[in-house]
Amino acid sequence: MTGDEPIEGSESGEPLPDGGTAGADDVALDPWGSSTVSDYRKLFEEFGIEEFEEVLPEVPDPHYLMRRGVIFGHRDYRPVAEAMREGESAAVLSGFMPTGDPHIGHKLVFDEIIWHQRQGVDAYALIADLEAHAARGLSWEEIDEHARNYLLSLLALGFDPDEGELYRQSENREVQDLAFELGIEANFSELGSIYGFDGETDVSHMQSVVTQMADILYPQLDEPKPTVIPVGPDQDPHVRLARDLASRMRYFGVTEAYASFEATADESAVIAEAYEAREAYADDPGTPRCAEAAEWLRGEGGARFEVPDDERTVERAAEKLENAGMEPLRPRTRFLNRRADEDAFEALIEAVDGEKRVFEAHVDAFDLDREAAEELAREVEVEHGGYGFLPPSSIYHRFMTGLTGGKMSSSIPASHISLLDDPEAGYEKVKAATTGGRETAEKQRELGGRADECPVYELYAYLLAGDDDEFAKRVYDECVGGDRLCGDCKEQAARLMEEFLADHQEKREEVAELLEDADIELESSRAR
């Protein structure tokens, strides 16, 4: 969830004026390693990340990173977009591991937090100092220095500390207490599977993961609300685990069912299809019986639809239906008691209006749809001391290509531009950058440049063009049309970068006093 991930660009593909598309094969997501994403499309297929362009029309006044496809994917962002449209409560949070200077890759996350804050969303930015100490071995003195630099840049870019919250993991007791509670729901096997932890992984490193889960859910401690985590795709394992833990912490689960017995998700899919096909087998289709559905599944029905797992799923579903005998097969919304105490469960039973059936560990409601049931379950949970967490959402931005080609990395100074670089040094780095140009000016004019493979064009799309989409598109069109040569293009980009750095560093000085007054510890209280 932190913002100092290695940053990699993409290889050639369908040209788009977004600073790069994908075309290679390998996808590896590792929050601490040399993460690579050479084909962003595989993230949709392998990890269930959704394409951001599908939700873009629902976003009010979208940021230019969204419009240009730099923010390319999301998980469940629609509730956040809806909250912004309706003026309802929502939150944005991201963290920064202070292991070096903030650079232009981190600026993507800074901008995403600040844009959401300006849309009226509660904004949180944290310094992941426990993670830096445990996973990277930095001393607290080093962490303090880097943390200050991250915070100054965040404020200089426009974060309002009076309207948002800044904190350090090590100084936030609420986060640490929540991490302890979340840790009860996580286990070593799970962390090993997700992160590759083994017998050599130190306990503090594992603890830092659970702390990050608490960070992600922290904005919902006062009340459940849609929360978005802007990150690079290498941080997706953290988001997936946080969504799982948010669900496990809930008092009640809400699902759909067709009979009184329990069934797995795959079995339920089979039973649902049997209910839809009731006209084919039931003596009274208005009241189909479980035993009739079982007989149908074992006969002609079993071959009528794709089975989620295999033939054994159909047989397990048929067996449960058979055991239910003449019980009517009837849709209902089910409340599952996961971790509620007796008082909360009784309150839920009392709150369910209309026809219902009460069992030892669940309640079936026949007059509530699933959405209303979800809201009711959350209300009862919060009233009885539960968190009522909504699953956190996320948005994912493309990695920037290093100025020298390949990955942009803090460990390779020439590959990135630090927000603390002398403006003249920033100018020189851009002038020395690799481009997507042709071998000669003649070929460039004839064939056009390869903007989608060009780190310099990415600078325009991600940063230098700012909110001016027409300018970004003009640079792209002139490049691929052969009208823009690399020398002039780099000169323009270098001057813009020099101006940006000079302006940013002037603003850093202006907000220094603002940072001193902000409600955040700038020096760690940990042992030094």
Distance separating alpha carbons of residues 386 and 252, to the nearest angstrom:
10
- pLDDT on residue 112: 98
411 pLDDT band (50/70/90 cuts)? low
353 pLDDT band (50/70/90 cuts)? very high
Distance separating alpha carbons of residues 198 and 86, to the nearest angstrom:
46
Q: What is the pLDDT of residues 106-137, one digit of tens each?
A: 999 999 999 999 999 999 999 999 989 988 88
Checking if the pLDDT of 8 tops 80, the result is no
- pLDDT on residue 342: 97
- pLDDT on residue 96: 93
Checking if the pLDDT of 426 tops 60, the result is yes
362 pLDDT band (50/70/90 cuts)? very high
The answer to whether position 453 is within a domain reads yes
Checking if the pLDDT of 33 tops 70, the result is no
The answer to whether position 178 is within a domain reads yes
289 pLDDT band (50/70/90 cuts)? very high
Q: Both 267 and 216 in a single domain?
A: no
Mean pLDDT of 374-396: 97
Comparing CA positions, the residue from 173, 129, 123, 172 lying closest to residue 150 is 129
Checking if the pLDDT of 350 tops 50, the result is yes
206 pLDDT band (50/70/90 cuts)? confident
Residue predicted with more confidence, 306 or 262: 262
Q: Both 109 and 153 in a single domain?
A: yes
Distance separating alpha carbons of residues 259 and 238, to the nearest angstrom:
36
252 pLDDT band (50/70/90 cuts)? very high
18 pLDDT band (50/70/90 cuts)? very low
The 3-state DSSP class for residue 329 equals coil
**Is 318 in contact with 298 (CB distance < 8 Å)?**
yes
Q: Both 145 and 91 in a single domain?
A: yes
Neighbours of 174 (CB within 10 A): 11
DSSP, res 462: I
- pLDDT on residue 307: 59
The answer to whether position 525 is within a domain reads no
The answer to whether position 526 is within a domain reads no
Q: Both 124 and 182 in a single domain?
A: yes
- pLDDT on residue 30: 46
312 pLDDT band (50/70/90 cuts)? confident
Q: Which two tokens stand for residue 286?
A: 């208005």
Checking if the pLDDT of 9 tops 70, the result is no
Q: Which two tokens stand for residue 218?
A: 């922290």
**CATH value at residue 416:** 1.10.240.10
- pLDDT on residue 231: 93
194 pLDDT band (50/70/90 cuts)? confident
Q: What is the pLDDT of residues 490-522, one digit of tens each?
A: 999 999 999 999 999 999 999 999 999 998 988
The 3-state DSSP class for residue 396 equals strand
Highest mean pLDDT among 16-20, 40-44, 202-206, 390-394: 390-394
Q: Both 144 and 292 in a single domain?
A: no
Residues above pLDDT 70, as percent of the chain: 90
Checking if the pLDDT of 158 tops 80, the result is yes
Mean pLDDT of 454-476: 95
Residue predicted with more confidence, 199 or 138: 138
Q: Both 185 and 207 in a single domain?
A: yes
Q: Both 461 and 507 in a single domain?
A: yes
Q: Which two tokens stand for residue 314?
A: 């159909």
| CA–centroid distance for 83 within its chain | 17
Neighbours of 272 (CB within 10 A): 17
Residue type, 262: E
- pLDDT on residue 17: 35
The overall pTM is greater than 0.85: yes
Q: Both 114 and 37 in a single domain?
A: yes
Distance separating alpha carbons of residues 467 and 386, to the nearest angstrom:
42
234 pLDDT band (50/70/90 cuts)? confident
Distance separating alpha carbons of residues 333 and 367, to the nearest angstrom:
8
Cα–Cα distances in Å, from 218 out to 15, 125, 167, 523?
A: 40, 11, 11, 22
Q: Both 39 and 56 in a single domain?
A: yes
**Is 40 in contact with 25 (CB distance < 8 Å)?**
no
Distance separating alpha carbons of residues 7 and 255, to the nearest angstrom:
40
Residue type, 381: E
- pLDDT on residue 300: 82
Q: Which two tokens stand for residue 65?
A: 């990173």
Distance separating alpha carbons of residues 71 and 421, to the nearest angstrom:
26
Q: Both 298 and 180 in a single domain?
A: no
The answer to whether position 523 is within a domain reads no
230 DSSP β-pair partners: 395
Q: How many residues does the chain have?
A: 528
The answer to whether position 436 is within a domain reads yes
Q: Both 64 and 210 in a single domain?
A: yes
Q: Which of 329, 350, 383 is the last residue of a domain?
A: 383
Which residues are within 8 A (CB) of 19 and not within 5 positions of it... i.e. 6 or more apart? Answer: 68, 69, 70, 398, 400, 452, 457, 458, 460, 461, 462
Residues above pLDDT 90, as percent of the chain: 75
For all residues of the chain together, what is the average pLDDT?
89
Q: Which two tokens stand for residue 407?
A: 């990955």
DSSP, res 4: -
Burial 287-319 (b: 16+ CB within 10 A, else e): ebbbbbbbbbbeeebbeeeebeeeeebbbbbbe
**Is 66 in contact with 111 (CB distance < 8 Å)?**
no
Comparing CA positions, the residue from 374, 76, 99, 336 lying closest to residue 216 is 76
The answer to whether position 1 is within a domain reads no
Mean pLDDT of 234-246: 93
What is the residue range of 226's domain? 7-248+391-397
Residue predicted with more confidence, 340 or 43: 340
Which residues are within 8 A (CB) of 488 and not within 5 positions of it... i.e. 6 or more apart? Answer: none
Q: Both 239 and 222 in a single domain?
A: yes
Count of domains observed in the chain: 3
Residue labelled with tokens 């200089």 = 156
